[in-house]
Amino acid sequence: MTQADTLLFQLQALANPVRLWIVAELHRNGAQYVSALARSAGISRPLLKMHLRRLEDAQLVWCEIGTAENGKSAHFFKVNSFDLPLTPEIIAATKPTPVSLANGKNGDQNA
């Protein structure tokens, strides 16, 4: 993955209020499992998993298997430490192209 790909994936992942909330929640409270995050966010587990997958693909969070409060195995997510400085110089250094590297289409296709 190129530097431009990484920057694009990270910016797209963070360009959603639910995903910003997830990063903040994991930073404030440490590792949490999917069901607890979904309850806190007031959204379904499948929807939360989709958001976590986007953050994980962008290398902003990571997952490990642990034991939940009910004694069952669960996927615990933690936020990766990251510093995402964004300046015109950094954007230019990634040598972006006008075609989205994430989906091969022109324009903003942010999900």
Closest CA to 22 of 8, 33, 11: 33
Which residues of the chain form beta strands (DSSP E)? 32-33, 61-67, 73-79
Closest CA to 20 of 53, 42, 51: 51
Sorted by where each begins, the domain ranges of the chain are 3-81
pLDDT of residue 108: 47
Calculate the alpha carbon distances from 3 to 48, 70, 106 in Å. Answer: 27, 41, 19
Q: Which residues contact 66 (CB under 8 A, 6 or more apart)?
A: 31, 33, 73, 74, 76
CATH class of segment(s) 3-81: mainly alpha
Phi, then psi, of 41 in degrees rounded to 5 = -80, -20
The CA distance from 59 to 55, in Å, is: 6
The CA distance from 59 to 48, in Å, is: 16
pLDDT (tens digit, 0 to 9) for every residue of the chain, 111 residues total?
Answer: 777 788 888 999 999 999 999 999 999 999 999 999 999 999 999 999 999 999 999 999 999 998 877 888 888 999 999 888 888 988 888 777 776 555 555 444 444
**Chain-centre distance for alpha carbon 51:** 7
pLDDT of residue 107: 47
